[in-house]
Amino acid sequence: MGRVVIVAGGVRVMRGWAAVAAIAVLVAGCVETGGGGLRSVALLDGAVVATAPAGYCLAPHTGQRSGDSAVVIMGRCSAAGEAVPAVLTLSIGQGGSAGVLAGGGEALAAYFTSAEGRAAVSRTGRADDVEVLSARDAEGAFLLHLRDRRAGDYWRGIDGLRGRLVTVSVTAPEGEGLDAAKGRALVLAALAALRRANPGTGAVAVSGPEVAGG
């Protein structure tokens, strides 16, 4: 995962989002974890507890740590359950990275609707391959609804826990679609589960106006 830093007048996300997206693609065909999977795990020497929302488990052998940051993949605990088929990618930034949220939702929306921001979240690294369907705050977090030429429509939620930038991406399994309302609800449920697992972490408010369009 790339480093996230504040720059004058807004937000700059260093290259690295594409690597996180690539991991999600690799496990896109393996969204069920076989039942009885792991629901939570302490990461980064206990700095943050990664927890899956109801119906989902951490996929085995998909976690990745790079220095002071980490990425974990989640999928349905069982195909027999009522959970929406989806791949959840949780990425946790380095200590202090949540400071990027201090600019608020308006700065985040301006960044992610810019060519640089769209390139940063693109599976191909090309801004023209991503359309921002919406970019807004919701329940104390920042939500992006994106249309990627490779990944299709998906959701990305951004929050701050224990001073670290936390993002959750919800994508459809390979070859399938994801209902927009269900995707939004799932990314919010995943963020809520993380907050419950990390009490008193002081999530950063990112309220700001909705921005839509590319």
- Is residue 186 within 8 A of residue 193, CB to CB? The reply is no
Whether 54 has a pLDDT exceeding 80, the answer reads: yes
Reported pTM: 0.79
- Kindly state the helix (H) or strand (E) to which residue 157 belongs, with its residue range: strand 152-161
- Is residue 87 within 8 A of residue 24, CB to CB? The reply is yes
Summarize the confidence of residues 118-144 as an average pLDDT: 93
Quickly count: other Cβ atoms within 10 Å of residue 207's Cβ.
12
- Is residue 70 within 8 A of residue 92, CB to CB? The reply is yes
pLDDT, tens only, 158-196? 999 888 999 999 999 887 888 999 999 999 999 999 999
- Is residue 126 within 8 A of residue 150, CB to CB? The reply is no
Backbone angles phi, psi at 83, to 5 degrees: -65, 140
Listed in sequence order, the DSSP H helices in 79-198 are 104-112, 115-121, 180-197
Whether 204 has a pLDDT exceeding 60, the answer reads: no
In angstroms, the CA 191 to CA 25 distance is: 21
CATH placement of domain 4-197: 3.40.1000
Domain ranges of the chain: 4-197
Four-point Cα dihedral 116, 133, 25, 177, nearest 10: -170
- Is residue 146 within 8 A of residue 133, CB to CB? The reply is yes
With pLDDT > 90 as the criterion, what percentage of the chain qualifies?
46
Summarize the confidence of residues 42-65 as an average pLDDT: 87
pLDDT attached to residue 148: 93
